Chains A and B, each alone.
Chain A
Amino acid sequence: MTAIPHYQPLLELEPEAVRCPHPYFERLREESPVVWIEELSCYAVTRHADALEVLRNPELFSSRMPTGPKAMNETMAVLQELLMGSPEMQQVFTEGLALGVTSVLLNADPPMHDRQRNLVNRAFSPRRVQSMERGIREIADGLIDRFVDAGRCEFVHDFAVGLPLTVIAGALGVPDADLATFKRWSDDFVVAIGNHLLTKERLGEMLKSQVEFYEYFTKKIEERQAQPGDDLISDVVMARIDGTEPLSTQEMLGMFSQFLVAGNETTTKLLASAMLRLLEDPEMMARVRADRALIPGVVEEALRLEAPVQGLFRVATADTHVGGVAIPGGSSLWVLYASANRDACEFPEPDQLNPERPNSKAHLSFGQGVHYCLGASLARAEARVGFEAIFDRLDDIQLAPGCSLDYEPSYILRGLQQLPLRFSARR
């Protein structure tokens, strides 16, 4: 049969398919839950049970290429083009390689991964995050201060971007004066993730930012080694476990850049999608405003329904089977969190936002298994505290009339590009 696969619009990133990929995922779950996708050179895994099996087996399913073979090949191709005939970029690239390219956390496998993860867990423990909550609320209020009297804002740019960025910058010891530079690095790092509009120029900027980032944080690491403080960098720098090799500078730099990428864009998208869900359901908005104890449940359901990371990739290290389908060793698998999150076998009435859903935390938006999101507690706290601040300070929140809701054209990240709001200030 030579028919075009029904999910073609999704692969071509057609705006409507990007805005709502779920009908495509549903058909895949029903008809071909584990299926080879030629365009992405991988098997898509769409059911919750199958995704769980893959994620829980890191020895069999390696994380060495977490953003997938296509993204990797395209980045390599653009990189080659960039380096050919540009001695300046060759220099930048070599410096970057020398400073900090190593397998760490997201793209590392056990046993190396487990050693690294065990050393940094304490930095993001629930207790640590709890001690950050007052600071998070101050940051949220500071952001709201800037627009509360205007009666309007662009929620993504004016709040959802600033909150996680400022929180992680603070945790990494970046002073306010350097925040704009920090944001530039963050934007540049995200460029290569599931974005097929990568140009030579953008990749060049990313590499330069990477070198600047590594030089900046190498200095910070040295400062903390000389004089440890009570912050994230110190936690990472000073981490020791008896009988375990401590983290190398390269490993630490790799981690910090992952914290930056993993902790920003994703949380921004969570905040915006949770807000949109509330805007589209005024009854729910009113319920939550009246009973703040519902906020965590709403946040969790927003995570499930609008997974900021739609899916990530694994590589089979041996011939195996998933969901009854033979997977040759060396094949890439696209583990579709967003699809697993709507699997009715796991979540009855999967498309309903139910803040009291008993198993909403079974979603895969933070992954599962040993790579479960290190920043999950922090992300949940930022969203909860962020919405508490919003409900405390803003009344009568509405979507601005006549706005278009456009989504990021990406395989990997899902989220709104803008969310213009109107509201009145609470006195």
Chain B
Amino acid sequence: MIVTIDPARCLGNGLCESIARDVFEVSEDGRGRVLVGRPADDRRAAIDDAVRMCPTQAIALQG
């Protein structure tokens, strides 16, 4: 699976980071970024949560 953050939507709220620290990080300048673009399958449930919880629906999961 491939995880991406849409920079136009991301507001750096950090819920993704609080759900999956290993995959998401909000950097010093307040922007979210993906640390692991192709995470292992056992992270799917956590990433699904992050996708749903993102207040601006900025995260996409493919495959």
User: How many Å from the CB of A357 to the closest CB on chain B?
Assistant: 12
Q: How far is the CA of A22 from the CA of B12 in the complex (A)?
A: 33
Residues of B within 8 A of A126 (CB): 14, 17-18, 26
Q: How far is the CA of A415 from the CA of B13 in the complex (A)?
A: 25
Q: B29–A369 contact, CB under 8 A? A: no
Q: How far is the CA of A240 from the CA of B35 in the complex (A)?
A: 25
Residues of A within 8 A of B56 (CB): 369-370, 372
Q: At the interface, yes or no: B37 with Cβ under 8 Å from chain A?
A: no
Contact with A along B25-51 (1 / 0, CB 8 A): 011111100000000000000000100
Contact with A along B1-29 (1 / 0, CB 8 A): 00000000001111101100000001111
Residues of A within 8 A of B30 (CB): 118, 120-125
Given contacts A125-B26, A126-B26, A127-B28, contact A361 B14 (CB under 8 A): no
Q: B11–A370 contact, CB under 8 A? A: yes
User: How many Å from the CB of B59 to the closest CB on chain A?
Assistant: 14
Residues of A within 8 A of B28 (CB): 122, 125, 127-128
Q: How far is the CA of A128 from the CA of B31 in the complex (A)?
A: 12
Q: A117–B11 contact, CB under 8 A? A: yes
Q: B52–A362 contact, CB under 8 A? A: yes
Residues of B within 8 A of A117 (CB): 11
Residues of B within 8 A of A368 (CB): 55
Q: How far is the CA of A249 from the CA of B10 in the complex (A)?
A: 25
Residues of B within 8 A of A362 (CB): 52-53
What band does the interface of chain A fall in when counting residues whose beta carbon is under 8 Å from B?
20 to 34
What band does the interface of chain B fall in when counting residues whose beta carbon is under 8 Å from A?
10 to 19
Q: How far is the CA of A377 from the CA of B26 in the complex (A)?
A: 12
Q: How far is the CA of A121 from the CA of B27 in the complex (A)?
A: 10
Q: B14–A125 contact, CB under 8 A? A: yes
- Minimum CB distance partner of A380 in chain B: B18
Q: At the interface, yes or no: A386 with Cβ under 8 Å from chain B?
A: no
Residues of B within 8 A of A118 (CB): 11, 30
Q: At the interface, yes or no: A56 with Cβ under 8 Å from chain B?
A: yes
A372 contact from B26, B29, B55, Cβ within 8 A: B55
User: How many Å from the CB of B8 to the closest CB on chain A?
Assistant: 9
Contact with B along A126-142 (1 / 0, CB 8 A): 11100000000000000
B11 contact from A123, A128, A358, A372, Cβ within 8 A: A372
Residues of A within 8 A of B17 (CB): 126
Q: B55–A369 contact, CB under 8 A? A: yes
Residues of B within 8 A of A121 (CB): 11-12, 30-31
Residues of A within 8 A of B26 (CB): 125-127
Given contacts A117-B11, A361-B15, A376-B13, contact A122 B57 (CB under 8 A): no
Q: At the interface, yes or no: A367 with Cβ under 8 Å from chain B?
A: yes
Contact with B along A38-70 (1 / 0, CB 8 A): 000000000000000000100000000000000
> Which A residues fall within an 8 A CB radius of B?
56, 117-118, 120-128, 358-359, 361-362, 366-370, 372, 376-377
A126-B17, A361-B53 known; 20 new pairs, CB 8 Å cut-off, are A56-B57, A121-B12, A122-B12, A122-B30, A123-B30, A125-B12, A125-B28, A125-B29, A125-B30, A126-B14, A126-B18, A127-B28, A358-B49, A359-B52, A362-B52, A362-B53, A367-B55, A369-B56, A370-B55, A377-B13
Q: Can you list 10 pairs linking A and B with CB atoms under 8 Å apart?
A: A118-B30, A121-B12, A123-B30, A125-B12, A126-B14, A126-B17, A126-B26, A359-B49, A370-B55, A372-B56
In order of increasing CB-CB distance, the 6 nearest A-B pairs are: A121-B30, A122-B30, A372-B55, A126-B14, A121-B12, A125-B30
